[in-house]
Structure 1
Amino acid sequence: MAEISSGSANGNHTGVAVNIKDDDDLNQQQLSDDASGCGFLTIPFIQKIIAEALGTYFLIFAGCAAVVVNADKDKVVTLPGISIVWGLVVMVMVYSVGHISGAHFNPAVTIAFATCKRFPWKQVPAYIAAQVLAATLASGTLRLLFKGRHDHFAGTLPTGSDVQSLVVEFIITFYLMFVISGVATDNRAIGELAGLAVGATILLNVMFAGPISGASMNPARSLGPAIVSSNYRGLWIYMLGPTAGAIAGAWVYNIIRFTDKPLREITKSASFLRSSTRSASK
């Protein structure tokens, strides 16, 4: 499991300022956690779930609020504005709680990490439950704030054919997960900039795919508003497309991440920021 954290650690949708640990360290830590029972139904694990839920809540609230306000106020936010909101809120939440929960905020990302053995399967149900609950609560909050004629569906719906939206969701989530895997799990990446990279990827995806599929990339983002509004049309697209895309993106990056360099050499060159810090201290 790769952990992303603000200022020192981990990577998203899925925490940024990524503190990347090598696989041996992660495996040893996981074995220790399993042996002691730590990390599951303990205070540290509960803290992770709370952080994941809070991060997902604010992510969905801010992003969907931009959609609702844009519809309610004569397109005042505009598509570029909505894209910026989604990108920025992901970035700030990754830096805020990434070092605690890993900042997935997305069931597809959680599942993808688990399939690559970078996240324990036993924690997947709890993470997904927290993400879906938080997305539903955020959507419910917006429903209470914008009642009557101001009530606008903040979920995602295909504007063209179902197949078109399914393919678009697969591609953009593949793209997102590929970036996450690169900046959040690879020692050679500039981990401190992971939040910025992930947020920028989401901004770009929403900009061009929003008018087509809604640019969900996140089953919880689509499921929360659907539950609150009882509008399940096309929901299967946003369950299948992002999940399959995230798994494919994670595995494709794993295929190209191979290197014959020693781990110590990779770690030394993992971040130009850390290199600059060492140079300045000499």
Structure 2
Amino acid sequence: MALLPLLGKTLLCFVVLNTAASKRNNEEGDGNQFFGLAIGFVIIAGGYAGGDVSGACFNPAVAFGLDFSSINSGMSWSFAWTGFEIFGAGLAALAFRCLRPEDFSTVELATYEPSLPVKLASEFLGTFMLVLTVGLNVVLGSASTAWSAAAALMCMIYALGDVSGAHFNPAVSLAVKLRGKCSWTEFGSYIPVQLLAGASAGAIVSLFHKIGAGKDTAHFLQPGKGHSMLEASIVEMVFTFVLCYVVLATATTAKPESQLTKQNFYFGLAIASCVTAGGFAGGAVSGGELNPAVSTGLSVASSIYSPEGATIHGSTIVNLLQLATFEFLGGLLAVMMFYVTHPTELEKEAAWYSCYAAEFLGTFVLVFTVVCNVLAGDANWSPTSIACSLMVMIYATGGVSGGHLNPAVTFAIALATGDWSLKTAGYWASQLAGGIAAGFAACSLYTDVANVEVKEPYHTSHALMAELIYTAMLAFTVLSVAVSKRNNPASDGNNFYALAIGWVIIAGGYAVGGVSGAAFNPAVAIGLDVSSYSKGVGMGFLWGLFELLGAVVAVALFRVIRVPRQEDYLDAPPRDDYEPPLLVKLLSEFLGVFMLVLTVGLNLANDSPATAWSAAAALMCMIYSLGDVSGAHFNPAVTMAVVASGRKLCSTAEGVAYAATQLLAGTAAGIAYSVYHAAGPKYHGPNTRLRLRV
């Protein structure tokens, strides 16, 4: 199907032009930081959506490279693919000129406002590509629909956010309108265009369904097996609420005064990650559409083509109207909660209860996502979904309450800062209440409950130590990226804090999810424990105790690494000339390498489905945490390259010390994960080893 390389290349080039070449996304002296993220995620969107049809090259160099590598089988497809990809590039340029007229005129960019037809074209294109991506993933049998859909949404938000606001969702348009950030004319025009785009994409999806390998499988808009339409509607409402709330909190609020750049790095990442969180968590119940336009597109696709004899639960139109109604209700509830947590955005005085409401809400969403993932039983994507829910709620509530969402994090911050005010107790109460409420709410949608338990064949001691280690990693990351002065100078706070914190869950979730369940949060552990009271109560409180001990370990490490020479005492003035002593740098390298190697080893010992993804997450969050301390090499080869570069960032003597420390840390981590390997599912006697092999 040549249509896929055409559409894929059009999308890729269009995103490149909008994020890396457009004037308003790259003001002079203030270029954006998200262009690489947006461009790369096009490949995730298109690769999963169309990889089984066209190979998802989206690049003549890739097409020719693959064709030449199989020259014995003949060459021809690369020329055809290249032709369509070049044509796609031309379409992208045409679309760019139509949607970015300001780039080809002398208009004043600071006061430029796109015309309504341009905004509507933007909404049509963004919604069309989103629904097409979802539909192709569904009918072609992808196991990664939510991930691919989130990628499509992210790159289109980054590409078109400054054109139309990048709603691409009637429920979002409703929320933004009620927030007062969208005119009645735009609101009344956006929704029909979004629904039309969804229906158009659905018609194209039906063509692929009819001729694809999955043509004998029906894909109706209906509840998942074993669930009612009401349960599906509630799941759609909850996760559409999360999506709309995050849109309001990250894309319609004033930027922090400490942020020098006008560019918002995280809004597209946060909004799109709601689809990853909700799509995987709620997909088994409702399909995880979270968008009336997506629901419309899937309904149109199944109405045009479904296998002969296939039957639907209810009727297409009734199911569509019910799900869409609950999705709109989610948008309405998001506005109401936004008024509670962000009164200052409405030019009102800050309310004393806003921070507690934010902590309750964020923890509720996190634990609801956890329980839905646990009961859905998708080990491949559960940690990623949970990590995304944590990340988006930190971005959404961070400006209100700090986005703790975890009693262990609140405990660590209180220990590190010495702030033991009543607010700490209030946060704990809000977090625990949110966790317990979410546990009961999510379990009500299933016939089973999600309880806290040691996973076979491990012992309780293995599970408790796993919780302690990765809760310490989580709390240390919070302290380093969200509390540390050098990562958050008063004049220029960072944008990566929630990304680093959330990705600890990916690192630890895949590494020890098969050991302890990977709670890393007393609100999660106790919420699951209390809501599954029918299976007994108690383990969650034990988990919570060791998670609090992990917070103590994190504070001890933070004080050793960050506090020497008064660097990070909160009452001390910032020190731009501070240089960590060598011993602190070596401890930083040891800690980073230890957590990286331990994560890799535990993934291997537990036969994780995502070792590389988990290891990359561990590396990323430790780099963000310790990059300003030791440079965060965490690799003797990297240290060698830095020394050899001649940049004088690391002396030869320092490099030797780094390499020795890194090797020592790797050895120590190897000894640590060997304890889990000896007790784990892959151990078959004393001669069983985790070996390097070809």
Range of TM-score over shorter length:
0.7 to 0.9
Residue of structure 2 in register with 1:192 after alignment: 265
Which protein has the larger Cα radius of gyration, Structure 1 or Structure 2? 2
C-alpha deviation, 1:155, in angstroms: 5.2
**Matching residue's letter, 1:167:** I
* Residue identity matched to 2:146: S
Aligned to 1:245: 330
In 2, distance between residues paired with 1:221 and 1:89?
13
Mapped contact 1:6–1:98 kept (Cα < 8 A): no
Deviation at 1:102, TM superposition (A): 0.6
> Aligned partners of 1:155 and 1:219: how far apart in 2?
15
1:143-162 equivalent positions in 2, closer than 5 A: 143-147=206-210, 150=215, 154=219, 156-159=221-224, 160-162=227-229
- Count how many residue pairs are aligned between Structure 1 and Structure 2: 229
Greater relative contact order (Cα < 8 A, sep 6+): 1
Distance 1:228 1:83, change over 3 A: closer
Aligned residue in 1 for 2:238: 171
Identify which of 175, 191, 202 aligns with 1:112: 175
1:1-282 to structure 2, matched below 5 A, reads 44-70=115-141, 77-78=142-143, 81-147=144-210, 150=215, 154=219, 156-159=221-224, 160-188=227-255, 191-230=264-303, 231-259=316-344, 260=349, 272=493
Aligned partners of 1:179 and 1:198 also within 8 Å = yes
Deviations 1:233-269 (A, max 9, x none): 51122211110111111221122112458xxxx9xx7
SS at match of 1:217: coil
Residue 265 of structure 2 aligns to a residue whose secondary structure is helix
Partner Cα separation in structure 2 for residue 271 and residue 152 of structure 1 = 53
Distance 1:6 1:217 in 2: 26
Q: 1:198 to 1:153 in 2, by over 3 A?
A: farther
Once residues 84 and 173 of structure 1 are traced to their aligned partners in structure 2, the CA distance between those partners, rounded to angstroms, is 16
Moved more, 168-177 or 53-62: 168-177
TM-score between the two structures when normalised by the length of structure 1: 0.72
Instruction: Please state how far the C-alpha of 1:118 moved relative to its aligned partner.
Output: 1.5
Secondary structure, aligned partner of 1:150: coil
Verify the 8 A CA contact 1:116 1:251 in the aligned structure 2.
no
Distance 2:253 2:492 in 1: 11
Instruction: Give the 3-state SS of the residue equivalent to 1:115 in structure 2.
Output: helix
Tell whether the 8 Å contact from 2:132 to 2:205 is kept in structure 1 after alignment.
Answer: yes
Is the 8 Å Cα contact of residues 188 and 271 (structure 1) preserved in structure 2? no
Q: Deviations over 1:175-208 (max 9, x none)?
A: 1111111111122468321001111111010011
The amino acid that maps onto 1:222 is: S
Kindly provide the amino acid, as one letter, of the partner of residue 250 in structure 1: V
Deviates more, 1:139-148 or 1:47-56: 139-148
Q: After superposition, what is the alpha-carbon deviation per residue over 1:136-167, rounded to whole angstroms, capped at 9, x for unaligned?
A: 11111111233257275555311211221121
Contact 1:65 1:142 in 2 (8 A): yes
> Does the CA-based 8 Å contact 1:165-1:237 persist in structure 2?
no
Give, in whole Å, the separation in 2 of the partners of 1:271 and 1:223: 43
Partners of 2:136 and 2:208 within 8 A in 1: no
CA distance in 2, matches of 1:216, 1:83: 9
Distance 1:125 1:201, change over 3 A: same
Amino-acid identity (%): 26
Cα drift, residue 134 of structure 1:
0.7
Which residue of structure 2 lines up, in the alignment, with residue 20 of structure 1?
Answer: none
For the 8 Å contact 2:139–2:208, the answer to whether it is kept is no
The superposition leaves residues 88-133 of structure 1 with CA deviations (integer Å, 9 ceiling, x where unpaired) of 1110110111111111000111111112221111222211111011
Shift of 1:56: 0.4
Q: Which amino acid aligns with 1:192?
A: F
Structure-2-length-normalised TM-score: 0.31
Cα gap change, 1:143/1:245 in structure 2, threshold over 3 Å: closer, same or farther? same
Structure 2 partner of 1:26? none
Q: 1:128 to 1:47 in 2, by over 3 A?
A: same
SS in 2 for 1:216: coil
Change (3 A) 1:83 1:229: closer
Gaps of 5+ in 2: 1-17, 26-32, 35-111, 304-315, 351-398, 400-489, 496-694
Distance change (3 Å), C-alpha of 1:174 and 1:57 = same
Aligned residue identity for 2:331: A
Letter in 2 for 1:218: N
